[in-house]
């Protein structure tokens, strides 16, 4: 049985964006030791964006432990976190290809797709996980010029462009997974732009599942609730971080590996009839 360390109470803390895993208290669980693979993704080839830390890192580690070959994309300034992910993936006995990319242009995504296809020799699983958020406690009037563009370029446009570039190369049985959010269902005022982008991604996912179904390609979303990742201390005020996730029915924030486990299911042949759906990993908050 797999046991993840539950977080009881998160103390107040703050970091500069994009945040570093090493500076987090407590340290998140990405499944380095807690996750046990069962050969569910043996030989599959996966590209995971935002793979340097948080949910992306946990997904890379879980996929590797399940036997997948892994490539991760991440912002160039997150090289240190990316190398920590690679070390964890390699300790599971598979190679980890590092593809530093700022995904905010179509060209960058076309180049990322080409590099991933070349490095892995094909793609079976695409996890569109990279995201940007910046909480603004003052609401809409406090959202600075340029933030809306950055949020949608990173969350919505990059997912669209990268998926578009890779679809012609996907075979029947391939799985596309999009990280959306509880924010699409129960939005926070201070994340007005981010929540809207995640709602757009849910719509995109359902529509794409309809389009690609006849080709045998499945498309799904994972909607995390409050998950303890570097995004939290680096995009919220200190007092918002204190007690993070304690307002869920389960009474605690989630660990990155708890989200990754859902992606393992959606990526695997166990989910062969699952497409066009959102799997909530929210500690009990509703996703409908």
Residue spans of alpha helices (H) in 66-213: 79-90, 106-120, 147-152, 158-166, 192-212
Using DSSP, state whether 31 is helix, strand or coil.
coil
The DSSP bridge partners found for residue 96 are 70
Give the contacts of 239 (CB within 8 A, at least 6 positions apart). Answer: 12
Closest to 88 measured CA to CA, from 263, 220, 260, 280: 260
Q: Out of 35, 74, 185, 194, which one is annotated catalytic? A: 194
CA distances to 14, 63, 240, 246 from 133, rounded to whole Å, are: 15, 25, 14, 21
25 phi/psi in degrees, rounded to 5: -135, 115
| Separation of alpha carbons 180 and 86, rounded Å | 24
Q: Which of 263, 288, 285 is nearest to 274 (CA)?
A: 263
Running DSSP on this structure, what letter comes out for residue 158? H
Active site includes 185? no
Residues annotated as catalytic (active site), given as ranges: 194
């Amino acid at each position: 049985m797999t046991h993840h360390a539950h977080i009881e109470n998160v103390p107040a803390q703050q970091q500069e964006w994009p945040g570093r895993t090493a500076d987090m208290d407590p340290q998140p669980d990405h499944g380095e030791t807690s996750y046990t693979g069962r050969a569910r993704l043996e030989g599959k080839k996966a590209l995971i964006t935002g793979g340097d830390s948080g949910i992306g890192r946990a997904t890379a580690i879980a996929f590797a432990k399940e036997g997948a070959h892994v490539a991760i994309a991440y912002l160039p300034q997150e090289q240190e976190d990316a190398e920590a992910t690679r070390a964890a993936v390699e300790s599971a006995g598979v190679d980890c290809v590092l593809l530093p990319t700022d995904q905010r242009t179509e060209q960058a995504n076309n180049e990322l797709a080409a590099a991933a296809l070349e490095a892995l020799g094909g793609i079976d699983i695409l996890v569109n996980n990279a995201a940007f958020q910046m909480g603004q406690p003052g609401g809409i009037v406090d959202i600075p010029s340029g933030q809306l563009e950055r949020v949608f370029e990173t969350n919505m446009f990059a997912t669209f462009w990268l998926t578009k570039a890779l679809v012609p190369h996907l075979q029947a049985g391939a799985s596309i997974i999009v990280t959306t959010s509880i924010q699409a269902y129960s939005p926070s005022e201070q994340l007005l732009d981010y929540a809207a982008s995640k709602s757009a991604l849910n719509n995109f996912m359902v529509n794409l599942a309809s389009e690609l179904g006849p080709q045998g390609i499945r498309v799904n979303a994972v909607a995390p609730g409050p998950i303890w990742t570097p995004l939290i201390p680096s995009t919220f005020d200190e007092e918002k971080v204190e007690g993070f996730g304690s307002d869920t029915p389960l009474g605690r924030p989630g660990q990155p590996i708890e989200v990754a486990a859902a992606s393992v299911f959606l990526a695997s042949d166990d989910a062969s009839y699952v497409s066009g759906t959102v799997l909530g990993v929210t500690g009990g908050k509703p996703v409908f």
